A and B are shown apart, each in its own frame.
Chain A
Amino acid sequence: MKIKVYRDLMGANDKWANKTRALLAKEKVKMLNLIGSPGAGKTALLEQSVKKFSRQLNFAVLEGDIETKNDAERLARLNCRVSQLLTGGGCHLEAKMVNYAVRDLPLRRLDLVVVENVGNLVCPAEFDIGEHAKVVVLSVTEGEDKPLKYPTIFRESSAVVITKTDLLPHVPFKLKKCLANIRLMNPRLRVFQVSTVTGKGINEWMEWLTSFAGGNRDSEK
């Protein structure tokens, strides 16, 4: 006997994601899902963002890792509000675990929550964790063909941050080719070129981040 079902398999995850978005909407907080390969410079980008802009923007970071609290400790040293999410082997964050972490945050005092996903360009692209936008981080020490190799994350993201640009003279990374590949995958993607060592490009990235947070700074937070 055949029984027709048609049950969405992402439904359970998406339910938690929607709960998180409702929670954030209540307090007018935006959430960003930062995704990139291991070593792409996600934490360094956040360190610079916290150092330069924590006075203008009230934000908290949720650090996703398989093991260690190293990244959370790096950000905590800068007096950033940070929680560590350890997946214990899981290669991506899912909506339920993020929901639990978000519930522990003082949302009333925040403008923005940045979730640093587990270093991985494949699985995190598939899971809605309750964010309002995904941002992909790509370093010049990787390769200009990354957008072609990992199409889903480049299609699902709203912006790409090309990091470690201070290394461009020393690596065979073809920036023009990379930008063309990004356009081919997703013509709507905003592109930022950043060096966390020299600080170049950080202001443009933070302008976007501030506008993404939606003028919450003008509120009484």
Chain B
Amino acid sequence: MHEFSICQALVAAVLAELGKVKNGKMRLKKARVAAGQYHRLVPASLKLAYKILTRDTPAEGSSLLIKTIPIKLKCNQCGWKGTTRDICFVCRKCGGVDLEIIEGKELCLESIEVE
């Protein structure tokens, strides 16, 4: 359900950026979002929310592209770095469990495409 809340922020950002381009006279084709895997956003839910929330706005009819960024970890014991799809964070080199997330927490509007 948090996809809807996040999408409200997304649509506000998209409209703000669109308004800056040639006094808002351009048509929005695409909005690109970078979403870290850590947020576990469901792309279909985010797209549905986007379709609903852009209705009757200048962004209506535009498509949303979602780039998922995998979780990348760093082991605080041996320095190993690598990506994971596992829910449990275990170092693949030394087996340690003290790891920090260095990528995969991003959540941003990366770009918009207008015509």
A152 CA / B36 CA spacing, docked (Å): 13
Task: Give the size range of A's interface with the partner.
Answer: 20 to 34
Contacts A10-B9, A91-B2 known; A3 to B111 CB distance under 8 Å?
yes
The interface residues of chain A, by DSSP majority, are classed as: mixed
Interface status of B13 (Cβ within 8 A of chain A):
yes
Question: Is the Cβ of A3 less than 8 Å from the Cβ of B110?
Answer: no
Please, which residues of chain B bring their CB within 8 A of the CB of A9? 6, 9-10, 13, 33, 107-109
A134 to chain B, nearest CB (A): 15
Q: Complex Cα distance A122/B10, Å?
A: 20
Contact B113 A148 (CB under 8 A): no
B88 closest partner in A (C-beta): A184
Q: How far is the CB of B57 from chain A (nearest CB, A)?
A: 17
Q: Enumerate B63-115 residues with CB–CB distance to A below 8 Å.
A: 87-88, 97-98, 107-115
Beta-carbon contacts under 8 Å, A1-39 to B: 1-13
The answer to whether the Cβ of A65 comes within 8 Å of any Cβ in the partner chain is: no
Give per-residue flags for B30-51: 1 if the beta carbon is below 8 A from chain A beta carbons, else 0: 0001000011100000000000
CA distance A144 to B42 in the complex (A): 25
- Per-position 1/0 for A140-164, Cβ under 8 A of B: 0000000010011000000000000
Provide the bound-state CA to CA distance between A76 and B22, in Å: 55
Chain A residues contacting B12 (CB-CB under 8 Å) are 12
Give the distance in Å from the alpha carbon of A112 to the alpha carbon of B108 in the complex: 33
Residue of A nearest to B34 (CB): A6
Pairwise interchain contact A1-B115, C-beta atoms closer than 8 A: yes
B109 and A152 within 8 A (CB): no
When chains A and B are docked, how far (Å) is the Cα of A29 from the Cα of B113? 46
Asked whether B108 lies within 8 Å of A7 as measured between CB atoms, the reply is yes
Give bound CA distance, A7 to B26, whole Å: 20
Q: Which of A1, A4, A90, A187 contacts B114, CB < 8 Å?
A: A1
Is A42 at the interface (CB under 8 A from chain B)? Answer: no
Cβ of A67 < 8 Å from any Cβ of B? no
A122 to B40 Cα, complex, angstroms: 10
Q: With contacts A10-B9, A123-B2 known, what are 4 further pairs, Cβ within 8 A?
A: A2-B111, A7-B109, A12-B12, A91-B2
Which 6 residue pairs of A and B lie closest in terms of their CB atoms, listed nearest first? A123-B2, A91-B1, A7-B109, A9-B9, A7-B13, A9-B107
